[in-house]
């Protein structure tokens, strides 16, 4: 059953890769990359159980935590053209 799950995961990886390669706009590619990351998390987790080495879950956990940062970075870069942006909007609507 784990084998079937692995095959399904790999098929969906391939399909998501297609969108990342084809994607007409940057957002399409980014969406595909994000989804690909999520599927990779699943791949690593399932493979860990497939080979009965739950050490692999640490790697999946890293991806689950860090994948987000890459997406946000790409979005931010695409909106401003650079990474750093001032903080005039940091006026305390959340902080206070």
Partner 1 sequence: MDDAIINLGLLTMLAITALAVIRVQDLFAVAMLMGIFSLICAGFFVTLDAVDVAFTEAAVGAGISTLLVLSTLAITKREQSSRPRFRPVALLTVVLTGLLLVYATWDIHPYGDMSSPVHQHIGKRYLQESSEHTGIPNVVTSVLASYRGYDTMGELTVIFTAGVGVILLLGRSRKAAVNVDDEDDSRGTS
Partner 2 sequence: MSIVSFISGGLLLTGGIVLIIGSIGLVRFPDFFTRLHAASVVDTLGVMLMIAGLIPLAGFSLATLKLFLILVFVLLTSPTAGHALAKAALHGHLKPELDTQEKGQA
Partner 3 sequence: MWMMKTIAGEHHNAGRAELAMESNLVLRITAKMLMPFILLFGLYVQFHGDFGPGGGFQAGVIFATGIILYGLVFGLDNLRELVPSGLVRIVSASGLLLYIGVGVVSMLKGGSLLDYNLLSHDPVHGQHLGIFLVELGVGMTVAAVMTNMFILFARP
Q: Name the site residues for partner 3 (rule: CB under 8 A).
A: 24-26, 55, 58-59, 61-62, 65-66, 68-69, 72-73, 75-76, 79-90, 93-94
Backbone angles phi, psi at 82, to 5 degrees: -150, 175
- Helix (H/G/I), strand (E/B), else coil: 25: coil
Helix/strand/coil (H/E/C) assignment for every residue in 27-49:
HHHHHHHHHHHHHHHHHHHHHHH
Binding residues (CB under 8 A) for partner 1: these are 3, 6-7, 10, 13-14, 17, 20-21, 26, 29-30, 33, 36-37, 40, 43-44, 47-48, 50-51, 53, 55-56, 58-59, 62-63, 66-67, 69-70, 73-74, 77-78, 81-83
């Amino acid at each position: 059953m784990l084998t079937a799950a692995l095959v399904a995961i790999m098929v969906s990886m391939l399909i998501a890769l297609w969108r990342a390669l084809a994607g007409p706009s940057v957002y399409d590619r980014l969406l595909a990359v994000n989804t690909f990351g999520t599927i990779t998390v699943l791949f690593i987790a399932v493979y860990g159980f497939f080979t009965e080495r739950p050490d692999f879950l640490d790697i999946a956990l890293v991806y689950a935590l860090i994948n987000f940062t890459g997406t946000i970075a790409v979005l931010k870069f695409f909106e401003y053209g650079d990474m750093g942006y001032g903080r005039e909007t940091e006026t305390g609507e959340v902080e206070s």
